[in-house]
Amino acid sequence: MPHNTRMRAMTLAASVAALTLAVSGCSSPSTPGASESPSESGVFTIYGAEVPFDEELAGMLPEDVTEKGTLVFTTDGAAPPRSFVDENGDLAGVIPDLLAAIGATLGVEIDLQKNSFDAEVPGVESGRFDSTTGTGDFPTRREVLDMVDYYKAGYLYLVAAGNPHDVDDDPLSQCGLRVGVLKGTTQETLVTELSAKCEAEGEEPIDLQSFNNVLLEVPLQAGRVDVVWENTSTGYQVSAESPEVFEVAGDPIFAAYLGFGVSKDRPELRDTLQATLQKLMDEGVYSAIFEEWNQEDLEMDYISVNSDVRPE
């Protein structure tokens, strides 16, 4: 089924419903009313910004990509508004929009595949995917991938409205609680370490519950967990949309940049993605996409590679 870029924001309820759909098969993200086959003769337009084909950047692509004419990316589709499955079963959000612009600039099709988060890095290592799309740039990840950073990121503590368990900025306030995270994420490691610290302090350990490929708000709303460590972009969105259901406890923790993760033996692809994203930023396309999804505060100043700098 085609995973088309959608032109509207989405409520949490619709996102939850959409994630019950089976999503299989992929095609290039496209924008309604825009050229679906970027070329020298057609100009792709997204949110009022034109994205012309760039012959020089296309010439930077690895030969194998040029020959097949397709770049294969992966996303978990469970982090609105970065990437999520809409009510029509299509992948939507910042990432699909950026990929549509990248495809238009380079004159290639974009094959965006939905997978569990913990399958993404191994999939790039095995050659199944050309790149991940929203991977945290941490030293351990850089041991196997080169990271093309484009998105400020972090996490926050999302709880039920009214904060019934009095969760606050102190992580130890979560000792003895049921804490939900996505499997394979940095948050899973951090909560495991926090649980050990709780026990060292004479408190009850955390009941860590790891979920695969699901919106964390689903088990939180169902009462299966007391707090979830959600990414900042999603947490802010759902708490603003449904304040009678969710709220953010304490201040967000900005942890890293998100990037496109490319195998270390593919420097040509890494450099092509970095240069293409920088051009999209310079020409206002990047900002147009981030603004459409109310993510202006998470924009970067420039597109970096393997950055040690953490967002302030």
* Contact assessment for residue 288 and residue 5, using Cβ atoms and an 8 Å cutoff: no
Q: Is the pLDDT of residue 193 over 90?
A: yes
More confident: 309 or 214 = 214
User: Is 154 exposed, middle or buried, given 0-12, 13-18 or 19+ CB atoms closer than 10 A?
Assistant: buried
> What pLDDT is recorded for position 298?
87
Length of the chain measured in residues: 312
CATH number of the structural domain 154-255: 3.40.190.10
Is 12-153+257-305 CATH 3.40.190.10?
yes
Mean pLDDT rounded to a whole number for the chain: 86
Q: What is the 3-state secondary structure (H, E, C) of 69-134?
A: CEEEEEECCEECCCEEECCCCCEECHHHHHHHHHHHHHCCEEEEEECCHHHHHHHHHHCCCCEECC
The average pLDDT across 61-69 equals 97
Asked if the domains at 12-153+257-305 and 154-255 fall in one CATH topology, the answer is yes
Encoded tokens for 291: 């603004």
> What pLDDT is recorded for position 215?
84
Q: What percent of the chain has pLDDT over 70?
A: 85
Summarised one tens digit per residue, pLDDT across range 79-132 is 889 999 999 999 999 999 999 999 999 999 999 999 988 899 999 999 999 999
Strand partners, 247: 159
Summarised one tens digit per residue, pLDDT across range 4-59 is 333 333 333 333 333 322 233 333 344 333 334 443 446 899 999 999 999 999 99
> What pLDDT is recorded for position 240?
83
Q: Is the pLDDT of residue 279 over 90?
A: yes
Summarised one tens digit per residue, pLDDT across range 232-263 is 888 888 888 899 999 999 988 877 899 999 99
- Enter the pTM of the model: 0.71
- The amino acid present at 97, given as its one-letter code, is D
Q: Where do the structural domains in the chain lie, given as residue ranges?
A: 12-153+257-305, 154-255
**Over the Cα atoms of the chain, what is R_g?**
19
Summarised one tens digit per residue, pLDDT across range 211-220 is 987 889 999 9
Helix (H/G/I), strand (E/B), else coil: 175: coil
* Contact assessment for residue 233 and residue 248, using Cβ atoms and an 8 Å cutoff: no
Encoded tokens for 258: 């998100």
> What pLDDT is recorded for position 16?
33
